[in-house]
Amino acid sequence: MPLYFVRHGESLANEQNYFAGAQDSPLTPLGRRQARQAADFVRERGLRFDQVHVSTLERAQATAAIILEGVRDAPQVLYSDALNERDFGIFAGKNKTLIKKSIGHGLFDACFHDADGAPPDGEHWMDMYARCKHYYDTVLAPLDRQGKQVLVVAHKYIVEVFALIASGLPPAEYMDFRLPNSRPLSWEELKRMTARSSSGLNYLGEQTEIHLLQWMLIAAVAGFALSCVGLAVPHGLTSTAIVALLAVNAFFLSVRIEPGALRLTGGPENLALSVVSLARAGLAMVLLTQSHNEWVHVLGLLLIVPPALSVPTFSLARGGDYFFAARYTLVLSIVLPAALLLLFLDHHEVLGSAHALERFFVVLLIALAVPSLLAQGWRRARPIAAGKLATNWGWAGSLTMVPLALLVGLQAGGRPLADALGHGGWQAWAALLLPFALLLACRLGSAAYLSAYQRVTGKAVSAAIASDIHLLQTSPNIFLWLSLLLPGTFAHAPTLVAGTLLGFFAFALLDETWVVRRFRAQITPALHQHAARTATRARPLDASGVAAGTVALDSR
């Protein structure tokens, strides 16, 4: 069948993890490269289109324009709002992950993927299906019967509905088909896409996105519990597995990053972050150089290690600025290790031996630098595949954090921890809370400084950026921190080590819970109004007449 369909290239909404729907959202640099790769695909296959049908939204039109650049015998281009993306109602412009966490998987799936569902104040699924079916029956099918070669440039939900029509499946069979950006698909390829889709994998991905931090905390506690009852894994094997999982996580993180967005920019947020980061590093240096207490040294090292690689992922999941978080995770992953190296050269006692510093930089190289470079190389060479991996399979990279938490618990627990908790009295149990209290102090200090900074300077820092600044201060890379500890530390201060690891996971979960509660409070009134309206009227399943007359072609 001479019909081809392509979803627009990556948009700003795709990149920043929010719903655009019927709103405009421009292409990102990756989105433009994806469109150029789609143009190469069209040229290499020798495809010549008689007509190109395009949504009226900016991202689809920009994609179509790039695909048609340099095409001889330019086809007729027709624009129709019947091809526009679904209207997501109150969820338009909102962070996808926050929505999922706030309303739960069941309601999210009902709003977006159920044939009898609709987002509050948004387009009902059957209305969307009806306008796509009407467009196919009255516009595309007649062109196909005439032997015309047609390209349709539209959006995720629209192309997925056409895939459902191509496969002859009823609306009730619809699921998220994980349609990649900017990959041209023929009518037959649409059929194969629906056949390959897995509701089980979709469910796992959604659950990972919603419950990742809970799973990480449970895994860490399980690791400690197993180690305390005598389960031992060879240290070398555990360390190798941790580094390998960190490398996978770093690859998924880096494949999403646009290098141009990592350039340092001006703005009050940069100064604010610099001040709180310097304050934290300064406190760390004081603790490391002015005290000979092993516990104080452990806490000092916790303050000077760079942020966790998961910070950009956490930012993306709570409506932060992904690239701000990624930019400064990278910057601090260079600056803080350099500061630690200089400190060690002048004060050897801060680490005990050079071997700890060697382990630290080896982990930094293998688990961060190498996979990041590989991911960026692949992103540049294969933009469509890289975008698909980052957008549709990013949850797989996040999922590596669960076995990481388990392995860390196994490695950092053992008999010393069990003995300390069993015979150390309340002091040993209180020590478990000390690192959590330190992270809480960092969080409160960061919030207090930002509040004072904005009052004194009159310069506003956006809520998204403020959230990222707090994340960067309270999410230390505990895996790098572990590499700095001497073997004796696990025996001499087991409750402090365990408390640091548990404190990291528990604090991240509690902080996210607070963010989700605030977001839920914002959308709850609209959800209640929608539920009340829905309860007062029955929704007819046959919506075929709703979209009648909606096909409006514009050949401007």
517 annotated among ligand-binding-site residues? no
Confidence at residue 416, expressed as pLDDT on a 0 to 100 scale: 83
Q: Quick one: tokens of 331?
A: 């910057």
Name the residue among 158, 147, 128, 139 with its Cα closest to residue 7: 158
**How many angstroms separate the first and last alpha carbons of the chain?**
27
194/177 Cα distance (integer angstroms): 6
11 annotated among ligand-binding-site residues? yes
* DSSP per-residue string spanning 397-419: HHHTHHHHHHHHHHHH-SHHHHH
Cα dist from 525 to 62, 92, 123, whole Å: 37, 16, 19
434/503 Cα distance (integer angstroms): 8
59 annotated among ligand-binding-site residues? yes
Q: What is the dihedral of CA 34, 38, 41, 46, to 10 degrees?
A: -160
484 and 341 Cβ atoms separated by less than 8 Å: no
13 annotated among ligand-binding-site residues? yes
Q: Quick one: tokens of 440?
A: 């809480």
Confidence at residue 556, expressed as pLDDT on a 0 to 100 scale: 43
Residue that the structure tokens 């540049």 belong to: 380
Q: At 132, is the secondary structure helix, strand, or coil?
A: helix
313 and 513 Cβ atoms separated by less than 8 Å: no
Q: At 25, is the secondary structure helix, strand, or coil?
A: coil
User: Which residues are known catalytic residues?
Assistant: 8, 85
Whole-model pTM?
0.87
Mean pLDDT for back-to-back runs of 10 residues, the chain (556 residues): 91 94 95 96 92 98 95 90 96 94 93 93 96 97 94 97 95 91 94 87 93 95 88 86 93 88 78 92 90 86 90 89 89 88 75 71 88 94 93 92 92 80 82 90 94 91 91 92 79 86 92 92 85 63 44 48
455-509 pLDDT, tens digit per residue, is 998 988 888 899 999 999 999 999 888 888 877 777 788 888 889 999 999 999 9
* DSSP per-residue string spanning 292-322: --HHHHHHHHHHHSPBPTTHHHHHHHTT--H
Buried b (16+ CB within 10 A) or exposed e, 315-329: bbbbbbbbbbbbbbb
Buried b (16+ CB within 10 A) or exposed e, 293-303: ebbebbbbbbb
Confidence at residue 389, expressed as pLDDT on a 0 to 100 scale: 93
Confidence at residue 550, expressed as pLDDT on a 0 to 100 scale: 44
Cα dist from 126 to 131, 154, 219, 307, whole Å: 9, 18, 41, 45
95 and 88 Cβ atoms separated by less than 8 Å: no
Helix (H) or strand (E) holding 211: helix 199-228
CB atoms within 10 A of CB 107: 16
Q: Quick one: tokens of 45?
A: 């296959």
Name the residue among 323, 348, 480, 391 with its Cα closest to residue 181: 391
CA atoms within 13 A on the CB side of 510: 12
Confidence at residue 350, expressed as pLDDT on a 0 to 100 scale: 63
Confidence at residue 545, expressed as pLDDT on a 0 to 100 scale: 43
Q: At 123, is the secondary structure helix, strand, or coil?
A: coil
Residue that the structure tokens 């954090």 belong to: 401
Cα dist from 341 to 292, 300, 350, 363, 485, whole Å: 19, 14, 10, 15, 15
Cα dist from 311 to 52, 69, 414, 472, whole Å: 42, 39, 29, 7
Confidence at residue 352, expressed as pLDDT on a 0 to 100 scale: 59
Q: What is the dihedral of CA 528, 534, 536, 537, to 10 degrees?
A: 170
DSSP class of residue 554 equals: B
Helix (H) or strand (E) holding 105: helix 96-112
493 annotated among ligand-binding-site residues? no
548 annotated among ligand-binding-site residues? no
271/269 Cα distance (integer angstroms): 6
